[in-house]
Amino acid sequence: MKILIVEDEPGMLSSITAYFAKSGFICEIATTQAEGEEKIHLYDYDCVILDITLPDGNGLTILEQLKKKKTKAGIIILSAKNSLDDKIMGLHLGADDYLTKPFHMTELNARVTAIVRRLKFEGNNEVILGNIHLDLDSKKIYIENKELLLKKKEYELLLFFISNKERIVSKTSLAEHIWGDNIDRIDSYDFLYSQIKNLRKRLNEYKSDYNIQAIYGMGYKFVKE
C-alpha cells in the first residue's frame, strides 16, 4: 500500500508518516505544491493525503491534476480552516474525504482504511477480521455466521475499532469519532464507557476472535484473543 502525504508542517508530516509506516504503508512525502505535483506525475498511489494550505499554492490544485490524470487513488483533504466552502469545493473536485485539523491519528487511519477498502474491493463492501464479518452497505454484523445486532453507536464503535485494530485508541478520539463535530461534548465518558462495556460483552457472548482490551490510563485496543 503506497500513500503520498502532501503537508508543509514538519511536525505533522513526521507524525503521519510514522503512524502509517507502522501499519506497513509505504509513505512518500511532499512539502510543497510543486513537489506534490511532480510526485503524482511520476508515481501512482493508493491514497493521497492533501493539505490545502501549502507555502507555494493550494492543495486543491494538486487535487484537480490528480482528477485530470484519472487517478484511482483515494484522496483525503486536510485543512486547518474549518470552512464549509473548502469542504464543498474539495468534495466537488473529487476528494473522498475531508478532515479538519487538529485530528486524531486513529481518525485519519479509519478514514484512510475506509477509502482503501472501498477502492480495493470495488463494490464488495465488506470487512472481515478474524471471524467477524461486517457488511458496510446493510450495516449488518456476523460472527461465525451468527448475526450480531448492535445499536447505531455500538456499530460505529466496532467499525472504528476494526479500522484501528492492534493500535491504541484513546478515549478522546473515540468520543470525537462518536460525537463528530458537536461543539460541546456530552458530559462525561460515562456513556462511552457503558457502550464499550456493552460491546465487549456482546463480542464475548458471540465468541469473537477479536475483542476490546483496556490499556491502563490511555484507552483501548482491539486485539486478537
Partner 1 sequence: MKLLQYTSRYFLAMILSLLVLLSAALYVSIRFTVYKDIDEYLINRRIEILNVIDEHPDIIQEKSMYHDDIFIASISEDEYKKILSKHEDGIFKDTRKYDTTEQEYEPFRKLESVFQKNNSYYKLTITSSLLNPQELLYTIFFNIILLSALLILLTIVLNRILLGRIWKPFKKNIEQIVQYRLDKDIKPQFVKSNITEFNELNESLEKLISNNLKVYENQKQFIENASHEMQTPLGVMQNKIDLLMETHSLSDTQAGMVDALAEQVNRLSRLNTTLLLLSKIENNQYSKNKSINASKLIEKCCDDFAELMEFKSIQLEINKDASVELEMHPDLARMLFSNLIKNAINHNVVCGFITIYIQHHMISIKNSGKELLISPELLFERFSKKSDNPQSTGLGLAIVKSICDFYNFRISYVYKDNVHTLTIKY
| Closer residue to partner 1, CB minimum distance, 66 or 97 | 97
CB of 146 to partner 1, least distance (A): 23
| Interface of this chain with partner 1, residues 186 to 205, rule: CB under 8 A | 186-191, 194-195
Taking phi over 0 as left and psi of -120 to 50 as alpha, with beta for the rest, 209 belongs to alpha
Asked if the bond preceding 102 is cis, omega within 30° of 0, the reply is yes
CB of 55 to partner 1, least distance (A): 13
CB of 216 to partner 1, least distance (A): 5
SS3 category, 206 = coil
Judged by CB under 8 A, the residue of 55, 68, 84, 137 near partner 1 is 84
**Residue 3 grid coordinates:** 500513500
SS3 category, 179 = helix
| Interface of this chain with partner 1, residues 32 to 71, rule: CB under 8 A | none
CB of 124 to partner 1, least distance (A): 29
**Residue 52 burial class via C-beta count within 10 angstroms: exposed 0-12, middle 13-18, buried 19 and up:** buried
Other Cβ atoms closer than 10 A to 138: 8
Residues that bind partner 1 (CB under 8 A): 9, 11-12, 15-16, 18-19, 22, 80-84, 100-106, 151-153, 167-168, 170-173, 176, 181-191, 194-195, 215-219
